[in-house]
Structure 1
């Protein structure tokens, strides 16, 4: 995916004709480039699982502690995707997911999902360390639901569900030592006595010097079984490994399938006209884990991934139309009749308290109300989020802060463990614009000054180009003239704590007395 800014030519005698020629050549070349580009989505869409039903593709992904969870995305061409549903509104009603009693589930929640279509039903399964359960969601209408929910213990790590031709239903899971079980016909649990070690040998061909990793995804093509996993050589990069067998019980033979750019973990998808691709993802700094498509050709019944073993930049697929509005989008907070209150691009940080937000109490505004006291931003409820995206993006919000109470903080944030905030606070009845950074894990206010009006505009610009990972913070009193506030934040993707790419977030929390509220007039992404 490529993005280009308009280039303006300033005429200078002697070089104007050269510059004009170069500009015209550049623009014509770009206009003729109708191919798709990697990454397919320059945004945090990790742990992909994908199916094709007829001419329509569906993909599920990981969003951890966010609610609703397990996004379902739809495409007609493998390139242009839109969120059409979620597998669940809330995973469970427990303290860690509700952000109450000092508990949270950052870095956990639901992890790698598996999406399948079988006998007219769609199945999406996931697992959660937070609940220590495996969760399976079933529906006939993947875009509208409703979903039937099944869960059982334990949480089977990075599992793949497989409906075999003979009616048996299997699940493969594990890290390094891969195991297999058979599920009951109604998927309500495991058949007794069916657990077995599927692949125990940790010596992967081609000298990768590491054991088999995780991320199991199983496929059957022309009667043979193909199991995708990753390995991660010490000091090296994430690598695709494929095992093949004539029977699901083995014996299995494995080979290293792709080792380039760290693009790995995923599986196989084919197109109606017979093309094959591997869908994979790449760790790309603070924007998160971004999806790639890599061409596949078949040689001696093995899927061969890449072009001469490399991930190509361009693909024989239609060009991307961008992530707006399918994956990220602006919101005027004025839903039309029949539309959801909030577009599907939004997710709450943990389970929301639905009594404390509204888009109807003041038409055309999102109202976030406070209902308790919070001393830490990351432990406060009802922060509304959506993805940042690359290579560069901005999020802008207009706020009415008339009804903030003493001790209230409201505004716009770049959300991860090492977050940055630009917002408005009420201190003893007076309002101040502020900027806070958490880059040292101790929130520090870097700048604040009095605000003499109740309307304010806030902006965060994110630069992920070449992993620059810089966020800058701005405010405006009229929405036209912008002033930098505080300092740039060096964004950092943290694995063990939040384990997701940075998100734009709209927040409001009380530190002294609940009952205040803030009205967001709109939020716009560029």
Structure 2
């Protein structure tokens, strides 16, 4: 039996992986979306389900009251120590944080700032079982700190509440011929060596490196252990090593795929005769490979569909900023009731905190949802969106005379407000089915159904990513200007169907 990469075909950026007993866990970057730090579970490293999030809100709360799509939670590391789960991450504008919990589903502590500073990213801890010492390594974001391509190491308090020194430059990749943008370090102890598995060369064109030293503070020697070669897996980029109970070694990493974001691959791994790790097919990424030697599991993937029972939405959904009470209303039936939040930014979905999003699937698919515009207020609107540096959405709006109409709008990446993608037309019942057919290259075609069959709308829209984040599917309800809400809109039967 075999598996096919990617094992997670959507934007699960900067994955890190961990085994505890017979269970495997994975977390990923969540940037400015809330809740943050997704938590995935698997028994076979191939089939994954989303079981929760470790971060309820981003802090400081006032900083994330508005969308900051490329900020927030960068490149977390997931570890298990002292009978607790630990997640460390870097906020490039604040510093290195950690949360911890007795169980993967929580309760998780509030974020604790381990090291304050600008440009501190991609942290990873290590508790050395041989000596009782604790360490932390992190990389640097040049956009905030003015430096990059280097790794800094610290001795850390064993309880991870703080650091014990000012930090030491343990790897300066400017001194390594041909290496640039070294980042994303994952720290391990194996066979008497300190190991740092870290990518270099850039997200879209780089390679996976391994560095080793007999002492944590170096000196380190380096080797390229996974690169694109003649495959179509560009990057391949940052990830984590995990060993099964039977002793098999595997490496999980991401591949940048434009609007689809950073999809996740699983590579076989072994230790060569020279003591260095060998990943994939002799250093090249595999597309199809024999399954890990683990008990067979039924096919599984993070959920996408949602009937919104009781007005509640599934774990796959995230707001584009810290949410406020009243944005979604629980009730006795099915269907998601979103408040039409008034905003001066109603002309630009990229600026709205009250967009409920999930990841754009990494394969051709059809997305459908039912929508009823309950609000009677002129200007109130709601719809289904593809959201990135450019965006397009289709839905319903109350006209000045109170009638409902179908609208389809978009904005280019360089535009500061939306404009019509198609002419508005009447929707007499204030109800519609909405559809987006997403083809190769994330090219999107929009359709509506008022009960008389599907009608195409507008031109093809090519989804675009943000700087670090893949495009998102979004549900939105809004109204122009003012404060508070202007009634509600109800979404039903959200479905994502592979083509």
What is the Cα deviation at residue 430 of structure 1? 2.2
What is the Cα deviation at residue 371 of structure 1? 4.1
Q: CA 1:105 to 1:494, structure 2 compared with 1: closer, same or farther past 3 Å?
A: closer
What is the Cα deviation at residue 269 of structure 1? 1.2
Q: TM-score, normalised by structure 1?
A: 0.84
Give yes or no for contact 1:113–1:124 (8 Å, CA) kept in 2.
yes
Give yes or no for contact 1:377–1:509 (8 Å, CA) kept in 2.
no
Residues 277-299 of structure 1: CA deviation (Å, up to 9, x unaligned): 11111001111101111111211
1:461 is the counterpart of 2:437: yes
1:167 is the counterpart of 2:167: no
Give yes or no for contact 1:36–1:320 (8 Å, CA) kept in 2.
no
Listed as ranges, the matches of 1:237-252 within 5 Å are 237-252=205-220
Distance in 1 (CA, whole Å) between partners of 2:179 and 2:473 is 37
1:314 is the counterpart of 2:279: no
Q: TM-score, normalised by structure 2?
A: 0.89
Give yes or no for contact 2:396–2:430 (8 Å, CA) kept in 1.
no
Listed as ranges, the matches of 1:32-431 within 5 Å are 34-99=1-66, 104-130=67-93, 132-152=94-114, 153-154=116-117, 156-165=120-129, 166-174=131-139, 175-191=148-164, 193-204=165-176, 209-211=178-180, 213-232=182-201, 237-260=205-228, 261-299=234-272, 300-317=274-291, 326-335=301-310, 341-360=312-331, 363-375=333-345, 376-428=348-400, 429-431=402-404
SS for the counterpart of 1:518 is strand
What is the Cα deviation at residue 404 of structure 1? 4.2
Residues 333-375 of structure 1: CA deviation (Å, up to 9, x unaligned): 115xxxx933211111111112221131x62121111343333
Distance in 1 (CA, whole Å) between partners of 2:136 and 2:123 is 6
Q: How many residues align?
A: 469
Q: CA 1:418 to 1:371, structure 2 compared with 1: closer, same or farther past 3 Å?
A: closer
Give yes or no for contact 2:434–2:448 (8 Å, CA) kept in 1.
yes
Distance in 1 (CA, whole Å) between partners of 2:117 and 2:413 is 36
Give 1:23's aligned residue. none
What is the Cα deviation at residue 312 of structure 1? 1.3
Give 2:231's aligned residue. none
1:487 is the counterpart of 2:459: yes
Match of 1:525 among 481, 496, 499: 496
Larger CA deviation: 272-281 vs 511-520: 511-520
Q: CA 1:233 to 1:409, structure 2 compared with 1: closer, same or farther past 3 Å?
A: closer
Give yes or no for contact 1:210–1:233 (8 Å, CA) kept in 2.
no
SS for the counterpart of 1:354 is coil
Distance in 1 (CA, whole Å) between partners of 2:414 and 2:436 is 20
Q: CA 1:201 to 1:454, structure 2 compared with 1: closer, same or farther past 3 Å?
A: closer
What is the Cα deviation at residue 321 of structure 1? 6.1
Distance in 2 (CA, whole Å) between partners of 1:387 and 1:220 is 34
Distance in 1 (CA, whole Å) between partners of 2:224 and 2:72 is 31
Distance in 2 (CA, whole Å) between partners of 1:458 and 1:421 is 10
Distance in 2 (CA, whole Å) between partners of 1:321 and 1:262 is 30
Give yes or no for contact 1:404–1:518 (8 Å, CA) kept in 2.
no
SS for the counterpart of 1:433 is strand
Q: CA 1:381 to 1:148, structure 2 compared with 1: closer, same or farther past 3 Å?
A: closer
Give 2:144's aligned residue. none
Q: CA 1:212 to 1:440, structure 2 compared with 1: closer, same or farther past 3 Å?
A: closer
Distance in 2 (CA, whole Å) between partners of 1:390 and 1:181 is 38
Give yes or no for contact 2:207–2:227 (8 Å, CA) kept in 1.
yes
5+ unaligned residues in a row in structure 1: which ranges? 1-33
What is the Cα deviation at residue 253 of structure 1? 0.9
Q: CA 1:160 to 1:440, structure 2 compared with 1: closer, same or farther past 3 Å?
A: closer
Distance in 2 (CA, whole Å) between partners of 1:201 and 1:365 is 53
Distance in 1 (CA, whole Å) between partners of 2:426 and 2:299 is 39
